């Protein structure tokens, strides 16, 4: 036993020893591995790299990559990773689905590994993504490939539990976030510290740096340490010097492996477009879905409300395939669920806004339909790039254009996007028009959604920057409304407002021209037409202002249907609309600001008594307010002393003295009030008393009840006997009951008369007299009969 114990002890010691020793060894090994890796960074030749193993990467990263079947790096990875490891700032541009995510995640892991980053070191790298879904996707990829490293990673996006995030912020090494939420933590969370930051990555950099995120990004950048490595990635990379200056990049390396390629979109992506009328669009989409039931389809629409309506409508029409909808106004949890469902399923249609257009790596998407024309070429590239992704990905893209929008094809071709025109096979068209109308007539909610979709689409067209392609006035709105199932087209208030403003503008311009001609006539004395240069116009006249600010004159946000997502919001900021007139009020001379001191001085000069109110009678005579008159000697003295300014101490004393008089006045007032109340009460009592006596003059007089019927006649003798029984039953209560009687029963006439002091005759003689009268009127036999009956009754 003891031997066993001894050997156990020895073993445990051995084990401890073993545990300790390799750690030390490991640490040393790690140091030397890091040194070796770092020494290889400058020797990287991108063209020679066939697999990830050829790159000087840590074993942990290589294992993570291998476990996820990432063996050979893609072009962008091959070229960008080397420069990133060398510590250079990078501008990475590569086609959609070409693996840009790993091109920045691998350098992050390697940098922190080489710096032996621990949890205690705080935030070492930040990746900013424009959408929550993309941030989530990056985070998931990081978790997969960074599995063998010891770093902590955090996903910081809106719609999540802020409190939960706040507590853990100090322990996160790699932060994947959306700009808004990051800024919120920077502003509100004392635990958030990024002073140690080594690397900043902007995925979809051009989007992060555009106007929608301008303020947030500027604030974020200001809060970051300037000494850091910065990597920017996008399929449509920004080359704007202004953007780069904002990020203070130091001689960034531009990595664009596909710059010389024939196309900017993936080669395995087949792209086509159709041209149709606005009222045909919904029918074509329905027919497309019905003809591609075994495919994974992603449909892009311009606004959230369109997505919502199309989704709800098609769900009701039951096409025979799963339908999903993803847009910004959905709750975050729902967004996540839909995103994952679309990733998982293979026969499914997802209706989405541009929220899903960038970076999202939905697997095996067969078709991308651009139901509404994209805002620009960049948006087209990102939307189309949701299919044909990765090394072996294939897919097709269909762009639906209105005749006025066909001009965008020229832009696409000029940007190296191969796209062919196709036409719809009429035999395959199915029109759900009748069904839609029937559905809407039954369902008011759906009808309202349709109305909102209608207005929101028109707004989105109106807000587009490129007026050559997007012209809301060219749209057949009635036909469009009808195609949505709306027999009566909804009112388009914002367009009506614009038209009103335009009319006003035209009127003003006419007036202005007339005025100018008139002026020139009087000046020169001849009829030469005036030059139309604006600076010669007298500013005293209404002026036409043409600028972007006027967009605010239309109340987009006040209307019920203004819940466009982030993207649409951004577009609004950049709108160049037709000039809208505004009456320019003649600029008044800049007034000197009036200070309080100046006002006080003026008042003192004029000897105006401040804070005085004078009351007047109806006849306009001033009423003296005795409250305003000072009473104390000290106050009178103080008033007479005409010294400049105010002696605070003296004023205090005066006020105390005056306070005594005020209190006296108050007491007198209270006394008077009480007196008045008493008087009123007395007179009221008097009135009440009179009423109780039924109108008699005095209390002692008693009521005049002569008008009452004779109680002896009204009350039968039975009542008397009843009352007697009652009194005999409760003798103790006899007194009280008698008084109760007095209280509740009307006194007999007799009693009342007695009360009045009038002596009343006894009832018995009256009864006897009555009997005598009766017996006198009877015959002898009748009298005998009556006597017998009375005797019987007595027995």
Q: Which residues bind ligand ATP (CB under 6 A)?
A: 70, 72-74, 77, 94, 96-102, 235, 359, 361, 385, 389-391
Place of tokens 């929220």: 355
Closest distance between ligand ATP and the C-beta of residue 378, in Å? 11
Phi and psi torsions of 142, nearest 5°: -60, -45
Strands (E), 511-619: 615-616
Phi and psi torsions of 532, nearest 5°: -100, 25
| Residue with Cβ nearer ligand ATP (265 or 295) | 265
Closest distance between ligand ATP and the C-beta of residue 71, in Å? 7
**761 CB-near residues (< 8 Å, 6+ apart):** none
- Asked whether 99 and 65 are in contact (CB, 8 A), the reply is no
**237 CB-near residues (< 8 Å, 6+ apart):** 91, 92, 93, 205, 206, 256
Closest distance between ligand ATP and the C-beta of residue 363, in Å? 7
Closest distance between ligand ATP and the C-beta of residue 96, in Å? 4
Closest distance between ligand ATP and the C-beta of residue 382, in Å? 7
Closest distance between ligand ATP and the C-beta of residue 256, in Å? 12
CB-based burial label for 784 (10 Å; 0-12, 13-18, 19+): exposed
Closest distance between ligand ATP and the C-beta of residue 102, in Å? 5
Nearest one of 382, 387, 296, 311 to 341, comparing CA atoms? 296
Closest distance between ligand ATP and the C-beta of residue 399, in Å? 18
CA angle at 553 for the pair 547 and 555, rounded to the nearest 5°:
140
CA distance 19 to 667: 92
Q: Which alpha helices (H) appear in 366-476, and where do they start and end? A: 377-384, 408-414, 433-442, 444-463
| Residue with Cβ nearer ligand ATP (100 or 452) | 100
Nearest one of 214, 212, 178 to 359, comparing CA atoms? 178
Place of tokens 């007298």: 538
CA distance 305 to 451: 9
CB-based burial label for 575 (10 Å; 0-12, 13-18, 19+): middle
| Residue with Cβ nearer ligand ATP (183 or 368) | 368
| Residue with Cβ nearer ligand ATP (390 or 747) | 390
CA distance 464 to 749: 102
Partners of residue 155 on adjacent β-strands: 176
| Residue with Cβ nearer ligand ATP (72 or 293) | 72
| Residue with Cβ nearer ligand ATP (293 or 391) | 391
| Residue with Cβ nearer ligand ATP (265 or 451) | 265
The 125-128 sheet, strands edge to edge:
153-156, 174-177, 125-128, 199-203, 229-234, 90-93, 253-255
Closest distance between ligand ATP and the C-beta of residue 328, in Å? 19
Closest distance between ligand ATP and the C-beta of residue 196, in Å? 27
CA distance 95 to 255: 12
Residue 249 CA, distance from chain mean position: 36
Closest distance between ligand ATP and the C-beta of residue 446, in Å? 34
Tokens of 676: 């008045």
| Residue with Cβ nearer ligand ATP (64 or 385) | 385
| Residue with Cβ nearer ligand ATP (99 or 397) | 99
Distances from the Cα of 354 to the Cα of 77, 303, 327, 571, 729, angstroms: 26, 8, 8, 12, 97
| Residue with Cβ nearer ligand ATP (361 or 564) | 361
Q: What is the DSSP letter of 710?
A: P
Closest distance between ligand ATP and the C-beta of residue 101, in Å? 3
Closest distance between ligand ATP and the C-beta of residue 55, in Å? 11
Sign of CA dihedral 237, 243, 248, 250: positive
| Residue with Cβ nearer ligand ATP (386 or 452) | 386
| Residue with Cβ nearer ligand ATP (141 or 253) | 141
DSSP per-residue codes, 367-384: EEEE-S--SSHHHHHHHH
- Asked whether 569 and 544 are in contact (CB, 8 A), the reply is no
| Residue with Cβ nearer ligand ATP (130 or 328) | 130
Closest distance between ligand ATP and the C-beta of residue 56, in Å? 17
Q: How many CB atoms lie within 10 A of CB 273?
A: 20
CA distance 133 to 9: 55
| Residue with Cβ nearer ligand ATP (56 or 385) | 385
Closest distance between ligand ATP and the C-beta of residue 369, in Å? 17
């Amino acid at each position: 036993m003891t031997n066993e114990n001894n050997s156990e002890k020895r073993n445990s010691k051995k084990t401890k020893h073993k545990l300790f020793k390799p750690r030390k060894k490991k640490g040393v090994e790690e140091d030397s591995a890091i040194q070796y890796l770092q020494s290889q960074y400058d020797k990287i030749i991108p063209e020679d790299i066939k697999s990830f193993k050829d790159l000087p990467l840590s074993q942990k990263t290589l294992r993570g990559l291998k476990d996820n079947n990432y063996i050979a790096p893609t072009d962008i990875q091959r070229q960008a990773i080397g420069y990133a490891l060398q510590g250079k700032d990078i501008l990475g541009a590569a086609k959609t689905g070409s693996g840009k995510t790993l091109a920045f995640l691998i350098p992050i892991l390697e940098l922190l590994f080489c710096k032996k980053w621990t949890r205690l070191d705080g935030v070492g790298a930040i990746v900013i993504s424009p959408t929550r879904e993309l941030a989530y996707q990056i985070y998931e990829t990081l978790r997969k490939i960074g599995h063998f490293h010891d770093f902590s990673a955090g996903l910081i996006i809106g719609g999540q539990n802020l409190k939960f995030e706040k507590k853990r912020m100090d322990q996160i090494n790699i932060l994947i976030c959306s700009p808004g939420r990051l800024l919120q933590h920077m502003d509100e969370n004392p635990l958030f510290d990024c002073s140690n930051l080594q690397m900043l990555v902007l995925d979809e950099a051009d989007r992060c740096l555009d106007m929608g995120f301008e303020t947030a990004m500027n604030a974020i950048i200001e809060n970051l340490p300037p000494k850091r490595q910065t990597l920017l990635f996008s399929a449509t990379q920004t080359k704007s010097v202004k953007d780069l200056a904002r990020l203070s990049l130091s001689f960034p390396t531009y990595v664009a492996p596909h710059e010389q390629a024939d196309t900017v979109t993936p080669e395995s992506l087949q792209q086509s477009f159709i041209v149709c009328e606005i009222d045909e669009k919904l029918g074509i989409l329905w027919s497309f879905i019905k003809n591609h039931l075994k495919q994974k389809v992603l449909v892009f629409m311009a606004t959230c409300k369109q997505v919502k309506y199309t989704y709800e409508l098609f769900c009701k029409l039951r096409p025979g395939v799963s339908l999903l909808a993803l847009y910004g106004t959905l709750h975050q949890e729902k967004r996540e669920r839909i995103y994952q469902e679309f990733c998982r399923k293979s026969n499914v249609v997802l209706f989405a806004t541009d929220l899903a257009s960038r970076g999202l790596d939905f697997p095996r998407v067969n078709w991308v339909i651009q139901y509404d024309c994209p805002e620009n070429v960049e948006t087209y590239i990102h939307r189309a790039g949701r299919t044909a992704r990765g090394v072996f990905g294939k897919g097709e893209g269909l762009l639906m254009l209105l005749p006025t929008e066909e001009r965008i094809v020229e832009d696409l071709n000029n940007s190296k996007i191969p796209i062919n025109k196709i036409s719809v096979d009429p035999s395959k068209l199915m029109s759900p028009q009748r069904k839609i109308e029937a559905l809407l007539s039954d369902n008011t909610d759906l009808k309202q959604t349709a109305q909102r979709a209608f207005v929101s689409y028109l707004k989105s067209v109106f807000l587009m920057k490129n007026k050559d392609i997007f012209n809301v006035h060219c749209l057949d709105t009635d036909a469009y409304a009808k195609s949505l199932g709306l027999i009566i087209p909804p009112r388009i208030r914002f367009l009506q407002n614009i038209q009103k403003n335009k009319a006003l503008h035209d009127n003003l311009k006419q007036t202005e021209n007339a005025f100018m001609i008139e002026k020139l006539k009087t000046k020169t004395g001849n009829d030469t037409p005036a030059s139309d240069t604006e600076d010669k116009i007298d500013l005293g006249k209404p002026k036409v202002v043409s600028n972007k600010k006027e967009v605010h004159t239309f109340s987009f946000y006040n209307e019920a249907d203004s819940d466009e997502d982030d993207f649409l919001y951004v577009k609004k900021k950049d709108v160049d609309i037709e000039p809208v007139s505004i009456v320019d009020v003649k600029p008044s001379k800049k007034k000197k600001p009036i200070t309080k001191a100046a006002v006080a001085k003026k008042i003192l000069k004029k000897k105006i008594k401040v804070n005085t109110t004078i009351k007047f009678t109806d006849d306009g005579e001033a009423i003296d307010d005795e409250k305003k008159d000072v009473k104390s000697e000290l106050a009178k003295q103080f008033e007479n002393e005409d010294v400049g300014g105010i002696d605070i101490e003296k004023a205090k004393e005066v006020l105390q003295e005056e306070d005594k008089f005020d209190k006296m006045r108050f007491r007198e007032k209270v006394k008077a009030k009480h007196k008045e109340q008493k008087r009123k009460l007395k007179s009221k009592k008097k009135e009440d008393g009179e009423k109780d006596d039924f109108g008699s003059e005095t209390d002692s007089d008693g009521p005049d009840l002569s008008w009452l019927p004779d109680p002896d006649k009204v009350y039968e003798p039975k009542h008397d006997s009843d009352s007697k029984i009652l009194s005999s039953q409760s003798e103790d209560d006899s007194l009280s009951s008698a008084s109760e009687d007095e209280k509740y029963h009307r006194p007999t006439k007799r009693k009342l008369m007695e009360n009045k002091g009038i002596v009343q005759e006894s009832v018995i003689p009256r009864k006897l007299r009555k009997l005598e009268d009766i017996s006198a009127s009877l015959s002898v036999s009748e009298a005998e009969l009556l006597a017998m009956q009375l005797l019987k009754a007595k027995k």
